[in-house]
Structure 1
Amino acid sequence: MSKSNWQDAFLEFLKTRPTLPGEAAHELVALKGRVKASEINKLQIQPKISAVAVVFEKVYSGEYRIVLIKRKEYAGVHSAQISFPGGRRDGGESLIETSIRELYEEVGISVNERQLLTPLTELYIPPSNFLMYPFAYRCDTIMKCYPDPNEVADIVYLPLLRLAQEPCFEMHSVDVRGFSLRVPAIELSGHIIWGATAMVLAEIHVLIKSFIQNFEKM
């Protein structure tokens, strides 16, 4: 495998809209007993709908990173957590439109539907009762960020190469409303990436592993 070319090839692969590993990948890092998106109808849950943008940003020739944000501290369940730019769907807009709008509002990055690689698997977030739809976008240049100071405390960049590593996720302690939990997560520059964000990254991780196995045979 060549570090210089598999990442571009992987993003081209995503454009083909491959079969997604879905909830099987989510379960690699999900807390035991977590409600799945596929279960909410059976459980008669009426979730709020949101969408997030998973931006693959080109940094060097053949090297990409994923744009994440650290949310500001506030009196809510996702205070100070690492997440993807995104939020609640407004009015009659499509989910893709929501992800594009929220990305621009939160970090000032502008993308369009031509840059869409693929939707990823939706997941349910029990603490805030959101059904979250992730959409992957490709940016072939470094994008200047303008974080919304009311919502974003910092921008965090995850090298795509990190998601090809094993082990990708390891157990870390996180504080959840005064309780300490051990969760599968990625530690990045002092930040712990876990929960719904880690679940989306787990799906990308599984896709990368499958892709590289075939890529190395070419």
Structure 2
Amino acid sequence: MMSSILTNDLLTALKSRERLTLHLPEYRHAAVLVGFTDEPNPRVLLTVRSLDLPSHQGQISFPGGKIEAGETIIEAALREAEEEVGLDPSQVKVHGLWDDTFTPQGFHVTPVIVTLPPDYPYTLTPEVAEILLVPVSDLQNLSPETLTREFKGRTHLIYTYPWQGHRIWGMTGRIIHGVLHPHLHPREY
């Protein structure tokens, strides 16, 4: 088990707090894999989306995508991670589901929290331009830029983490902020 304070807090929060779920039937339901390497200073698995994709080209994201008919949230996150970065589902330890979130493009997203082997041989696929393993300690030491956006009559916070020339923001930044601060109520981030 990982020994960092973040991951211990996160795993405790997964077990002890009520997960925020959303009911957005008009949105497409998707799952993302929020994977932390199982080592003293865990790293989080992120991808840089290919410039050849029809949307969100070059953006940083978690492996994930649409939940297919008959698939569970966990099965979808594992399938997408295998398709996008070659992650063998048998090498993953699933801990649970994090708070639902959404995108302005109409996706209702459920993050799946997992641990990963520290030195897994990931592979690039046509969907992924680059694989990033970002040290959690780096993210904890950053002060994210925040801004607000209006969407469907509500104000939402957007967190941007600048890391080694990359801009981690949007839904990915929001999920990262939530897992870095698991004690916050989901509506506070």
Q: TM-score range by the shorter chain?
A: 0.7 to 0.9
Q: How does 1:122-201 map to 2 (within 5 A)?
A: 122-127=100-105, 129-148=106-125, 150-165=126-141, 167=143, 169-170=144-145, 184-201=159-176
1:52 aligns with 2:52: no
- Deviations, residues 156-199 of structure 1 (Å, cap 9, x unaligned): 121111343362x1259xxxxxxxxxx63111111100000001
Aligned sequence identity (%): 24
Note if contact 1:53-1:136 (Cα within 8 Å) is conserved in structure 2: yes
Moved over 6 A (4+): none
Q: TM-score, normalised by structure 1?
A: 0.69
1:18 counterpart residue number: 16
Residue 8 of structure 1, CA deviation: 8.2
Residue 15 of structure 1, CA deviation: 8.2
Q: Which of the residues 63, 68, 73 maps onto 2:41?
A: 63
1:101 counterpart residue number: 79
How far, CA to CA, are the matches of 1:200 and 1:133 in structure 2?
10
Q: How many residues align?
A: 174
How far, CA to CA, are the matches of 2:17 and 2:133 in structure 1?
26
**Kindly tell me: are residues 8 and 80 of structure 1, through their superposed partners in 2, closer, same or farther at Cα, counting changes over 3 Å?**
closer
* Bigger Rg over Cα: 1
In structure 2, runs of 5+ residues without a counterpart are 148-157
Residue 49 of structure 1, CA deviation: 1.2
Higher relative contact order (CA 8 A, sep 6+): 1
**Kindly tell me: are residues 113 and 136 of structure 1, through their superposed partners in 2, closer, same or farther at Cα, counting changes over 3 Å?**
farther
How far, CA to CA, are the matches of 1:114 and 1:83 in structure 2?
19
Q: Which amino acid aligns with 1:142?
A: D
Secondary structure in 2 matching 1:117 = strand
How far, CA to CA, are the matches of 1:77 and 1:106 in structure 2?
15
Secondary structure in 2 matching 1:55 = strand
How far, CA to CA, are the matches of 1:191 and 1:87 in structure 2?
22
- Deviations, residues 56-92 of structure 1 (Å, cap 9, x unaligned): 013xx51110000000114633111000001111121
The RMSD of aligned alpha carbons is 3.0
